[in-house]
Amino acid sequence: MQLSLRIAGVVSLLAGATGALQVDWSSDDSVKDAASTVAFGLLKYYTGNNTGDTPGNLPDPYFWWEAGAMFGTLVDYWFYTGDKTYNDVTMQALQHQAGEDRDYMPQNQTRSLGNDDQGFWAMSAMSAAENNFPNPPEDQPQWLALVQAVFNEYVTRWDTDTCGGGLRWQVFTFNKGYNYKNSISNGCFFNIASRLARYTGNQTYADWAEKVWDWMKDVEFIDDDFNVYDGAGVEQGCTDTNKAQWTYNAGIFLQGAAMMYNFTEQDVWKQRVEGLVKRTNEYFFDDGIVVERPCEGFNSCDYDQQSFKGYLMRWMASASQMAPFTFDTLMPLVKSCAGAAALQCSGSPSADLYKGPAGTACGFKWTSKEKFDGLAGVGEQMSALSAIQYTLVKKQSVAPVTATTGGTSKGDPDAGRPMEAYMPSLPPISTGEKVAAGFVTSAIAFSVLGACFFVMKD
C-alpha cells in the first residue's frame, strides 16, 4: 500500500514536470511566455559568453553557421516578443564573428567556411537591419554594411567556368565540397540580394537575384514544378543532380521570391511565389505538419538537418508579409506546426543533452503529436522556438523596414574584399584532422540513404 502510494506520487510528480507547454494560441501573452520558456532552454546550450570562450560560437558538435542562424532567430525573438533578455549576447556574437575584415569570414573558421555558412550569418545581420535591432557603436561593423560585404564577395565568386554560373558550395579550394554547386549557397546569395534590393532600393541587387534565380532554373536545381534539389558536381557540369529536397532550400527561395515580388510587384515573381508555396505545402507537410523528408523518417537527421525546419517557419512567416496573398495559406501551416512543436516541448533528458529546466526540452518529430520524442539539441529547441514565435506574425503586422521607411542601419556599398585578399595559402587538410565542412547534406544523402527515398512522396 505504502509502496504503491509512493509510486503514484512519483508518477504524478513526473507528469507535472513533463507536461507539454501550455499555450493559449489566441493570446499573444501566452505565446510570448511559451517562446520565452523555449528560448531560455535554447540559450542554455550557448557558452560563448562564458569567460575564456569565444563570443558567437556554440560548443561541439554544433558548427559555426548554426550559431549564426541561432542569433538570427534571437533577433526575431526580440522583434516579435519585445523581450530584450538576449539582445546583449546577440549583439556581442553578431559583432565578434564579423571577423577581422567585417564580412563574416573570421580566420578561425577558414577550415569550415562555405558560402552557405557565411550566408547564414549575413542573413542574421539582414534581419537586424530589417527589424531595426539596436545599431552597434559607429566604429563597429554595421548590419547593412556586413550584408553588403557578403553580397560583394559572392559576386566575385560567381563562377561561369563550370555549369554556366553559380556559386560553388565552398569558398576555398582545399575544403571538401569545393567541386559541388548547391542550392543553399546560391539560396543565400539570392536571399540577401533580394532583401538588399528591397531594403536599399538599389536595382543592382535585384538584377543579381534575378540572375541567381535564372541560373537555378537553367541547371534545374529548381524544376518546373518548383521542387528545389540539393545540388550537383561541377565535373559533370551540374547534371548529376542530388535530388534530396530539404525544407530550408525551399524556404530560402520562398522568402527571396516574396521579397522580389514585393520589390518589383511583377506578375512573374507572383507566379514563382505561388509555385513555391504550392510545392512546399504538398511536398513537406503531412496534415499540416512539416517533415524533413530525406532523413526524419529514417531517424538519420544530423545536427545541421535537425535545425532546418525552423528556418522554413521563419521564411514562410516572412513570405506571408512580403506577399500578403500567401498569408492565408502559409500562416495556418506555421500555426499547426507550432501546436505540434509545443507538444514536443515536454522533455527532461539528461544534462548532457539539455541543461534547461526539466519538462521544457523540445523534441524533433512534430508529426508524432505526442510528448517529447527523446531528441534534444540546438536544432530541435530553435525550430520549436521558431514555430512558436512566428505565430505572432499578423496579417497587419508592422512590416520589416527599409532605408526609406524607418530603417536606420548604415550601409557601405563597397564593403567586402576582392578574392585575392582572402585566399590563404594553407597546406591541404591532413587525414585525421577534423574536416568541419559546415553542411554535409550531400554526403549524407548519397552514402547513407541511397537514392530510394527521393520517390517517397510526389
Ligand X SMILES: *[C@@H]1O[C@H](CO)[C@@H](O)[C@H](O)[C@H]1NC(C)=O
Binding site for ligand X (CB under 6 A): 43, 49-50, 54, 86, 89, 96-97, 99, 106, 108, 202, 204, 262, 265, 321-324, 399, 413
In whole angstroms, the minimum distance from the beta carbon of 323 to ligand X comes to 6
Q: Which is nearer to ligand X, 95 or 306 (CB)?
A: 95
Distance between CA atoms of residues 298 and 315, nearest Å:
25
Residues found in the chain: 458
Q: Phi first, then psi: what are they for 54, rounded to 5°?
A: -100, 125
In whole angstroms, the minimum distance from the beta carbon of 55 to ligand X comes to 7
Nearest to 73 by CA among 58, 56, 90, 50: 90
Q: Which is nearer to ligand X, 126 or 232 (CB)?
A: 126
Q: What is the 3-state secondary structure (H, E, C) of 2-31?
A: HHHHHHHHHHHHHHHHHCCCCCCCCCHHHH
In whole angstroms, the minimum distance from the beta carbon of 4 to ligand X comes to 41
212 in Cβ contact with 186 (< 8 Å): yes
In whole angstroms, the minimum distance from the beta carbon of 18 to ligand X comes to 23
In whole angstroms, the minimum distance from the beta carbon of 262 to ligand X comes to 4
In whole angstroms, the minimum distance from the beta carbon of 86 to ligand X comes to 5
Q: Which residue is nearest to ligand X (CB)?
A: 399
CA distances from 307 to 101, 137, 264, 367 (A): 28, 32, 31, 16
Q: Which is nearer to ligand X, 200 or 245 (CB)?
A: 200
Q: Which is nearer to ligand X, 269 or 454 (CB)?
A: 269
CA distances from 304 to 62, 139, 340, 370, 441 (A): 8, 34, 21, 23, 8
In whole angstroms, the minimum distance from the beta carbon of 60 to ligand X comes to 14
In whole angstroms, the minimum distance from the beta carbon of 427 to ligand X comes to 19
Distance between CA atoms of residues 234 and 225, nearest Å:
24
**CA quadruple 299, 304, 310, 315: dihedral positive or negative?**
negative
In whole angstroms, the minimum distance from the beta carbon of 106 to ligand X comes to 4
Q: Which is nearer to ligand X, 60 or 224 (CB)?
A: 60
DSSP at 57: P
Q: Which is nearer to ligand X, 275 or 413 (CB)?
A: 413
In whole angstroms, the minimum distance from the beta carbon of 108 to ligand X comes to 4
Q: Which is nearer to ligand X, 123 or 259 (CB)?
A: 259
Identify residue 265 by its one-letter amino acid code: E
Q: Which is nearer to ligand X, 66 or 230 (CB)?
A: 66
Task: Give CA 193 to chain center in angstroms.
Answer: 16
Q: Which is nearer to ligand X, 216 or 259 (CB)?
A: 259
Distance between CA atoms of residues 76 and 74, nearest Å:
5
In whole angstroms, the minimum distance from the beta carbon of 253 to ligand X comes to 18
Q: Which is nearer to ligand X, 45 or 246 (CB)?
A: 45
Radius of gyration of the chain from its Cα atoms, rounded to whole angstroms: 21
DSSP assignment of 142-210 equals: PHHHHHHHHHHHHHHH--TTSTTS--BSBSSTTSTTTTEEEHHHHHHHHHHHHHHHHHH--HHHHHHHH
> Which residues neighbour 303 within 8 Å (Cβ) at sequence distance 6 or greater?
61, 62, 63, 66, 377, 378, 379
Distance between CA atoms of residues 195 and 322, nearest Å:
11
Q: Which is nearer to ligand X, 329 or 367 (CB)?
A: 329
Identify residue 20 by its one-letter amino acid code: A
